[in-house]
Amino acid sequence: MTRVLVVGSGLAGLLAAVRATDAGHRVTLVTKAALSDSNTRYAQGGIAAALFPDDSVDAHILDTLRAGAGLCDPAAVRVLCEEGPARVRDLIRFGVDFDRDESGITRGLEAAHSRSRVLHAGGDATGFAIEAALVATVQERANRAHALGGDQITIHEHTMLVDLTVDDGRVTGAVLLGPDDTRHTVTADTVILATGGAGALYRHTTNPAIATGDGVAAAWRAGAAIADVEFYQFHPTALAVPGTPLISEAVRGEGAVLLSSTGERFMTAIHPDAELAPRDIVARSIAAQMKAQGGAPVLLDATGLGRDLLESRFPTITAACRANGLDWAVEPIPVAPAAHYWMGGVATDGWGRTSLPGLYAVGEAARTGAHGANRLASNSLLEAAVFADRAVRSLSEAEQPAPYFATETDADSDAGITGFPGAGLDDPSDAADAADAAVTASAPGLVDRGTLQNLLWEAAGVHRSGADLTGAAATLAGWHPVDRALATAAQLETGNLLDLGRLIVAAALAREESRGAHHRADFPDTRLELARPRFTVRPDTRTLVSASSIASEGIAC
């Protein structure tokens, strides 16, 4: 029986936990907040799959490849689209009640899709419905096991990943920070990271505050390969009010249009698909229009859809508008881009395996290659389900060698991302000494999260340039986090964001072109010779935390 540690409780983590439990593995599921708190919960747009007679897997593949701007892994895309319908049917069996009409399951059209294939639940509450159904399923499995006197699945809420433990090049578990602020080490045969993205890197994001990229940062420190981190997708339409609630792409799919501050449509002159152009194009166009009108938000006009449709199809958005004194049935609402989804992350093969034996990554924390440089709308929930299922299936097979990724070895690939306090230390107690030495050498300052978010938004946001990125890299190199051995949960998160901010800026500097969600003002064209991913690993791959050096206590796996 394999001991499996699953970190994260969005769709990917919950599905992995259910599948692993049902397969007879012993599962420990840990999550940083409550079990139901995740990015999945906030997903509005839906889940895309070729389920209908007038659609096909090949059509879904072509749409995904087209959106990915030449950087998709075709094999990963085929897996996503071929296995997607079965995973959606699994979700239905787990209790997800997708919206229906007289013809069966309702489907919608979203940007860059050639067919109406996007399923929704509760109108614009798809993620909430999926999360609720899977939470109930996981809890049912846990309650049933405990009633029979077993501990086949154990759940720990409010428990944060601090770092992975590695022995002889293999991930053997993790150091966790529990709700009592006590650190515990849990050992496992397999660790599945499902920790989501890192929207908290940016000043404006549709993600919840917990999206701090903990799993990707921990995997990087442990020596796993990462890829495509320069590609962060900015959703074109977040409500331009505090909290930046998401305004689903499906609203434009139903016919809403974008207007300048003076009430004129502008997307028709930019792309033949106008408001339904790929997300990167719409986001950049809105940002450019905002700059032209002095920074004021653009307007989303959904008044033509009628109050009945808006309130029934988009109840979550309607409530958000009302909470901010807006009635979108009678007036256009202000919108602006916001950080939404990370195409990059821990590099994996088609089964979720990373370059480190014993470590898997699924969901937004993983870079499978299915999204390329720009994710197709509503493929994120699908990817989480498909590859979480595949990761667990692979556990029942004979162990395969960890996949090899051809990593960058030039000096420039590591600019600004190495040499920060605590990197590559065998003994966590050495971190304070390393931090002191760094302070003496370069007089860096303690990183402040708000300042970091502003820097990333300005230099590595929707629009980028070599000058801004170079300046950001220099600034990031002058900051240091609180010693991880002593840090609180919030300080650990900020340290993770600093690690990831450095990685994103370095990768964005190295990609001297514009492609998908990555746009450089000084390199505005796409370069054919750069149509490849960049895999990077930390040059100093000494183990950050060794399981043998820490007593295991508190949490069993």
Active site residues: 279
Place of tokens 């990373």: 354
Backbone φ and ψ of 146, nearest 5°: -70, -35
Among residues 39, 98, 96, 69, the alpha carbon closest in space to that of 376 is found at 69
For residues 343 and 370, give the distance between their C-alpha atoms in angstroms, rounded to a whole number: 9
Contacts of 163 (CB under 8 A, 6+ apart): 174, 175, 218, 221, 222, 484, 544, 545
For residues 278 and 116, give the distance between their C-alpha atoms in angstroms, rounded to a whole number: 15
For residues 105 and 492, give the distance between their C-alpha atoms in angstroms, rounded to a whole number: 43
Place of tokens 């000084």: 522
For residues 378 and 130, give the distance between their C-alpha atoms in angstroms, rounded to a whole number: 13
Residue 434: which H helix or E strand, with range? helix 431-442
Show contacts of 95-103: CB within 8 Å, 24+ apart. Answer: 95/133, 95/136, 95/137, 96/121, 96/129, 96/130, 96/133, 97/121, 97/129, 97/133, 98/129, 99/123
Token pair, residue 518, equals 């990555």
Residues shown for the chain: 557
For residues 472 and 495, give the distance between their C-alpha atoms in angstroms, rounded to a whole number: 16
Token pair, residue 503, equals 């990685």
Backbone φ and ψ of 181, nearest 5°: 65, 20
DSSP 282: H
For residues 50 and 54, give the distance between their C-alpha atoms in angstroms, rounded to a whole number: 9
